[in-house]
Amino acid sequence: MPGYWDDCNDYRDEDEQNDRNMMFAGDSALRAESSTNPRNLPCPTCGEPHRLTPNDQALGYQCDSCADREEFGG
Protein backbone atom coordinates (compact mmCIF):
# COMPACT_ATOMS: atom_id res chain seq x y z
CA MET A 1 0.00 0.00 0.00
CA PRO A 2 1.51 3.36 -0.96
CA GLY A 3 2.24 5.94 1.69
CA TYR A 4 3.17 9.60 1.71
CA TRP A 5 5.47 12.09 3.37
CA ASP A 6 3.78 14.52 5.75
CA ASP A 7 4.97 18.06 6.59
CA CYS A 8 7.43 16.69 9.14
CA ASN A 9 8.90 14.22 6.61
CA ASP A 10 7.55 11.27 8.56
CA TYR A 11 6.47 8.43 6.33
CA ARG A 12 2.83 7.60 6.96
CA ASP A 13 0.58 5.08 5.30
CA GLU A 14 -2.90 5.81 4.03
CA ASP A 15 -4.59 3.86 6.84
CA GLU A 16 -2.90 6.05 9.44
CA GLN A 17 -4.01 9.20 7.60
CA ASN A 18 -7.58 7.88 7.41
CA ASP A 19 -7.53 7.19 11.17
CA ARG A 20 -6.36 10.77 11.81
CA ASN A 21 -9.07 12.19 9.54
CA MET A 22 -11.73 10.34 11.53
CA MET A 23 -10.26 11.48 14.87
CA PHE A 24 -9.85 15.19 14.12
CA ALA A 25 -12.15 17.80 12.64
CA GLY A 26 -10.34 18.72 9.42
CA ASP A 27 -7.10 20.61 10.08
CA SER A 28 -8.28 21.43 13.59
CA ALA A 29 -7.03 20.03 16.88
CA LEU A 30 -10.69 19.58 17.83
CA ARG A 31 -12.02 16.06 17.80
CA ALA A 32 -14.34 14.95 15.02
CA GLU A 33 -18.05 15.03 15.73
CA SER A 34 -19.84 11.69 15.86
CA SER A 35 -23.00 10.19 17.32
CA THR A 36 -21.06 9.34 20.50
CA ASN A 37 -19.11 12.63 20.51
CA PRO A 38 -21.53 15.37 19.39
CA ARG A 39 -20.48 18.99 18.98
CA ASN A 40 -22.96 20.19 21.60
CA LEU A 41 -20.95 22.22 24.12
CA PRO A 42 -20.12 25.92 24.25
CA CYS A 43 -16.59 27.28 23.96
CA PRO A 44 -15.29 28.12 27.45
CA THR A 45 -13.59 31.27 26.11
CA CYS A 46 -16.22 32.97 23.94
CA GLY A 47 -19.33 31.11 25.12
CA GLU A 48 -20.59 30.36 21.60
CA PRO A 49 -22.84 27.28 21.65
CA HIS A 50 -22.16 24.02 19.80
CA ARG A 51 -18.41 24.60 19.41
CA LEU A 52 -16.91 21.64 21.30
CA THR A 53 -17.47 17.93 21.71
CA PRO A 54 -17.28 16.24 25.12
CA ASN A 55 -13.82 14.95 24.12
CA ASP A 56 -12.67 18.52 23.33
CA GLN A 57 -13.97 19.74 26.68
CA ALA A 58 -12.22 16.89 28.54
CA LEU A 59 -8.95 17.99 26.93
CA GLY A 60 -9.50 21.62 27.98
CA TYR A 61 -9.81 22.93 24.40
CA GLN A 62 -11.43 26.11 23.15
CA CYS A 63 -13.04 26.65 19.74
CA ASP A 64 -10.92 27.14 16.63
CA SER A 65 -11.80 30.84 16.37
CA CYS A 66 -10.60 31.55 19.90
CA ALA A 67 -7.49 29.41 19.42
CA ASP A 68 -6.65 31.27 16.20
CA ARG A 69 -7.15 34.67 17.85
CA GLU A 70 -4.90 33.61 20.72
CA GLU A 71 -2.23 32.17 18.44
CA PHE A 72 -2.26 34.76 15.64
CA GLY A 73 -3.65 37.83 17.43
CA GLY A 74 -6.73 39.76 16.54
Q: Is the pLDDT of residue 17 over 80?
A: no
Average pLDDT score over residue span 14-32? 64
Domain extent listing, the chain: 3-72
Amino acid present at 46: C
Q: Which is more confidently placed, 22 or 56?
A: 56
For 26-68, write each residue's pLDDT tens digit: 678 899 999 999 999 999 999 999 999 999 999 999 999 999 9
Q: What per-residue confidence (pLDDT) applies to 8?
A: 53
Q: Is 12 left (phi over 0), alpha (psi -120 to 50) or beta?
A: beta
Q: Is the pLDDT of residue 14 over 60?
A: no
Query: What's the Cα-to-Cα distance from 39 to each of 4, 48, 50, 63, rounded to whole Å?
Result: 31, 12, 5, 11
